[in-house]
Amino acid sequence: ALAGLAAAAAWAQAPRPVQADELLPERVLVGDVTARRALVTRAYAPLAASQGSLLETLSAYLGAGRSLEAAARTLYVHPNTVRYRLRRVADVTGWDPLDARESYVLQTALALGRLDDAGASAIVERS
């Protein structure tokens, strides 16, 4: 609750009261390690472990400015394929990438997961 209170100002449109779990990206910004772990565990890890290119599709969608058509061109698939995969992302994570707020949560989780993966790779390379 205290972590949520510290981060609430970062999301001006947040409903009041707002649960601390709804402020995960903002809590990460203020240095909350528990929120960071939660985002990676609840969003990035399940997508990385899933079948069907969900992580790649989410990354293409977010990287294309949240454009279904641009993501489809990047992936060389039909836009309906992108829509289907993004619905699967929502099923797997509980956050809908087609919703502006929830796509922000997913984009933060994607960045954190990649940072964790890069850090793990750097440790292995040093050994």
Could you report the per-residue pLDDT of 42-93, keeping only the tens digit for each?
999 999 999 989 999 999 999 999 999 999 999 999 999 999 999 999 999 9
Phi, psi (deg, nearest 5) at residue 13: -90, 5
Helical axes 68-75 vs 79-93, angle rounded to 10° = 100
- Residue that wins the pLDDT comparison between 108 and 15: 108
Measured CA to CA, the distance from residue 72 to residue 60 in angstroms comes to 8
pLDDT-based confidence at residue 124 (cuts at 50, 70, 90): low
Q: Which of 2-6, 39-43, 89-93 has the lowest mean pLDDT?
A: 2-6
Burial class of 57 by CB neighbour count within 10 A (0 to 12, 13 to 18, 19+): buried
Q: What is the pTM of this model?
A: 0.89
Structural domains in the chain, sorted by start? 2-119 (1.10.10.2840)
Measured CA to CA, the distance from residue 74 to residue 2 in angstroms comes to 42
